[in-house]
């Protein structure tokens, strides 16, 4: 398994399945964690805070939305998603030291037996530290994706996605939550067979298509508020820029990312990829979707 995929699975499993397995394991939410010189811990996971290790950690250290500072020993990997990894003199890391959204810094006689990797051009929404390149990458990528999605799905489909979210918020949220869980399982389950690989990547393609369609609709809806007088082509990137600015707020940005992921998947699915705001409702009730002029027919009937 590649280092990037292993790091992704560590972060995903930390968010969704974070619970102590051994007595010496520790999981903390929205607070900083310190391991003293005379202390020994097992796996250490900190979500929304930073980790300082002066003692010994007999497993992995994962910080999501915070920094990791090590002057002691970590026998496993040290992964900071949305922060820095600082290795002080005398620090020892038995595995990899990876920083996503910051830099991995090694000073003095610090030892890393695995790989030392930095991805500073990535900004995790909600992380506490801001880095100019990461902020520009976040805002720029969101704006470009929103514009590309707008040109692909057009205004009518964007309106339908936004309409599905507004008219059927509970159905959209439930659909999005189920689809999000299934998508996470696709990343976790690694089948070695050719058929399994094909099915896995087919699922990823469908999820990414729904995600792009849903995010385009949300960006369009936001753009109507922040830049309602601008030309339609500018509303998608304007809405994406507004969302990106909120994502820069520590902790709140991470919560917004989770909400957008669920709502985007759910609204895109509930609207039939932007076909009609009531597409899923009509399908569940086994009645045709009405066209804008009020008529209905075989061409407008929802198909599985």
Cβ atoms 257, 251 nearer than 8 A: no
Residues 187, 99 share a domain:
no
Q: What is the pTM of this model?
A: 0.75
Looking at residue 51, the DSSP 8-state letter turns out to be E
- How many whole angstroms separate alpha carbon 120 and alpha carbon 83? 9
Residues 270, 145 share a domain:
yes
Residues 258, 209 share a domain:
yes
Residues 149, 107 share a domain:
no
Tokens of 103: 């830099």
Domain end point (choices 119, 142, 173): 119
Asked, for residue 127, whether it belongs to a domain, the answer is no
Residues 194, 97 share a domain:
no
Position 197 confidence tier, pLDDT thresholds 50, 70, 90: confident
Number of domains in the chain: 2
Give residue 192's pLDDT. 62
- The answer for residues whose C-beta is within 8 angstroms of residue 70's C-beta and 6 or more apart is 52, 53, 61, 78, 85, 86, 87, 88, 91, 93, 110
Cβ atoms 286, 201 nearer than 8 A: no
Residue 183: pLDDT above 50? yes
Q: Nearest 5°: phi and psi at 26?
A: -145, 135
Chain position carrying tokens 């922060």 = 83
Position 126 confidence tier, pLDDT thresholds 50, 70, 90: confident
Residues 213, 97 share a domain:
no
Residues 291, 153 share a domain:
yes
Asked, for residue 124, whether it belongs to a domain, the answer is no
Give residue 16's pLDDT. 47
Q: What is the mean pLDDT of the chain?
A: 84
Asked, for residue 152, whether it belongs to a domain, the answer is yes
Tokens of 141: 């990528």
* Model pLDDT for residues 198-247, shown as the tens digit of each residue: 888 888 899 999 999 999 999 999 999 888 888 888 999 999 999 999 99
Give residue 11's pLDDT. 54
Looking at residue 108, the DSSP 8-state letter turns out to be T
Measured N-to-C along each axis, helices 132-167 and 232-247 cross at an angle, to the nearest 10 degrees, of 110
Asked, for residue 126, whether it belongs to a domain, the answer is no
* Model pLDDT for residues 128-166, shown as the tens digit of each residue: 878 888 889 899 999 999 999 999 999 999 999 999 999
Tokens of 30: 């929205």
Residues 139, 90 share a domain:
no
Residues 98, 11 share a domain:
yes
Tokens of 9: 């699975």
Asked, for residue 268, whether it belongs to a domain, the answer is yes
DSSP 210-228: HHHHHHHHHHHHHHHHHST
By residue range, what is the domain housing residue 143? 132-300
* Model pLDDT for residues 39-68, shown as the tens digit of each residue: 888 889 888 889 999 999 998 999 988 899
Asked, for residue 80, whether it belongs to a domain, the answer is yes
Strands (E), the chain: 26-29, 33-35, 40-41, 44-47, 51-53, 56-57, 61-64, 68-70, 73-74, 78-81, 85-87, 92-93, 97-100, 104-106, 111-112, 116-119
Give residue 86's pLDDT. 93
Percentage of the chain exceeding pLDDT 70: 85
Tokens of 203: 């699922």
DSSP 124-162: -TT-SS--HHHHHHHHHHHHHHHHHHHHHHHHHHHHHHH
Domain end point (choices 89, 119, 149): 119
Q: Could you tell me the CA-to-CA distances from 232 to 136, 158, 218, 239 in Å, in that order?
A: 23, 11, 14, 11
Asked, for residue 208, whether it belongs to a domain, the answer is yes
Chain position carrying tokens 């090590």 = 70
Give residue 2's pLDDT. 45
Which residues are bridge partners to 117 per DSSP?
Answer: 98
Asked, for residue 125, whether it belongs to a domain, the answer is no
Residues 79, 202 share a domain:
no
Q: Nearest 5°: phi and psi at 130?
A: -110, 130
**C-alpha of 60 from chain center:** 21
Nearest to 78 by CA among 41, 45, 55: 45
Residue 274: pLDDT above 60? yes
Residues 136, 91 share a domain:
no
Looking at residue 271, the DSSP 8-state letter turns out to be T
Residues 274, 181 share a domain:
yes
Give residue 3's pLDDT. 46
């Amino acid at each position: 398994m590649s280092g990037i995929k292993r790091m992704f699975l560590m972060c995903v499993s930390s968010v969704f399945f974070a619970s102590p397995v051994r007595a010496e394991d520790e999981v903390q939410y929205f607070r900083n964690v310190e391991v003293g010189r005379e202390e020994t811990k097992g796996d250490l996971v900190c979500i929304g805070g930073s980790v300082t290790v002066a003692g010994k950690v007999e497993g992995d250290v994962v910080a999501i939305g915070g920094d990791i500072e090590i002057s002691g020993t970590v026998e496993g990997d040290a992964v900071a998603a949305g922060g820095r990894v600082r290795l002080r003199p005398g620090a020892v890391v038995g595995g990899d030291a990876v920083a996503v959204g910051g830099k991995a810094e090694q000073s003095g006689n610090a030892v890393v037996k695995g790989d030392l990797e930095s991805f500073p051009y990535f900004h995790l929404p909600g992380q506490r530290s801001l880095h100019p390149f990461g902020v520009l990458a976040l805002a720029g990528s969101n704006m470009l994706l929103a514009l590309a999605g707008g040109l692909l799905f057009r205004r009518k489909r964007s309106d339908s996605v936004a309409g599905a979210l507004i008219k059927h918020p509970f159905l959209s949220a439930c659909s999005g939550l189920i689809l999000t869980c299934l998508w996470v399982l696709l990343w976790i389950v690694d089948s070695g067979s050719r058929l399994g690989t094909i099915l896995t990547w087919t699922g990823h393609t469908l999820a990414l298509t729904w995600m792009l369609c849903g995010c385009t609709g949300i960006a369009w809806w936001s753009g109507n508020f922040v830049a309602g007088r601008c030309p339609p082509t500018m509303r998608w990137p304007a809405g994406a820029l507004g969302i990106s600015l909120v994502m820069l707020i520590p902790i709140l940005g991470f919560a917004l990312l989770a909400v957008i992921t669920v709502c985007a998947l759910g609204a895109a699915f509930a609207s039939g990829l932007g076909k009609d705001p009531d597409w899923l409702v009509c399908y569940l009730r086994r009645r045709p979707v009405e066209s804008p002029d009020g008529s209905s027919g075989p061409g407008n009937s929802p198909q599985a």
